[in-house]
Structure 1
Amino acid sequence: MIKLSITALLLAASVYGGSLSFESGSIKAHTEVFGDSSIDPVFKKATSHFSMGDSVTSLRGSMDVSIGDFVSDNSKRDTNMHETMESDKFPKASFEVKEVVAKGGDNVLLKGTLSLHGISKPLSFEGTLTQDVSKVRIKAKSSIKMSDFGITPPKMVFLTVRDQVDLNVDVVLKR
Structure 2
Amino acid sequence: MKKIVSLAAVLLAASAFAGNLSFESGSIKAHTEVFGDSSIDPTAKKATSHLSMDATPATLKGTIEVSMSDLISDNKKRDTNMQETLESATFPKAVFEVKEVVAKGGDNVILKGAMNLHGVTKPMSFEGTVSEEASKVRIKVKSSMKMSDFGITPPKMVFLVVRDQVDLNVDVVLKR
Q: Please state which band the TM-score falls in when normalised by the shorter chain.
A: over 0.9
Q: Over residues 114-160 of structure 1, what are the superposed CA-to-partner deviations in whole Å (9 max), with x where a residue is unaligned?
A: 00000000000000000123011000010000000000000000000
Q: How many positions carry a matched residue from both structures?
A: 174
Distance in 1 between residues matched to 2:68 and 2:97, nearest whole Å:
17
> What do you get for the CA RMSD once the two structures are aligned?
1.8
Distance in 2 between residues matched to 1:70 and 1:52, nearest whole Å:
27
Q: 2:134 — aligned with what?
A: 133
Distance in 2 between residues matched to 1:136 and 1:16, nearest whole Å:
12
After the TM superposition, which parts of structure 1 deviate over 6 Å for at least 4 consecutive aligned residues? 4-8
Q: Over residues 54-78 of structure 1, what are the superposed CA-to-partner deviations in whole Å (9 max), with x where a residue is unaligned?
A: 1110000000111011100001000
Q: 1:68 — aligned with what?
A: 69
Distance in 2 between residues matched to 1:124 and 1:6, nearest whole Å:
36
Q: Please identify which structure carries the higher strand content.
A: 2
Q: 2:104 — aligned with what?
A: 103
Cα shift at 1:8: 7.2
1:120 aligned to 2:121? yes
Identity %: 73
Q: What letter corresponds to residue 93 of structure 1 in structure 2?
A: A
SS in 1 for 2:39: coil
Distance in 2 between residues matched to 1:74 and 1:154, nearest whole Å:
15
Structure 2 unmatched ranges of 5 or more: none
Q: 2:28 — aligned with what?
A: 27
Distance in 1 between residues matched to 2:152 and 2:128, nearest whole Å:
26
For the 8 Å contact 1:22–1:47, the answer to whether it is kept is yes
Structure 1 unmatched ranges of 5 or more: none
Cα shift at 1:23: 0.7
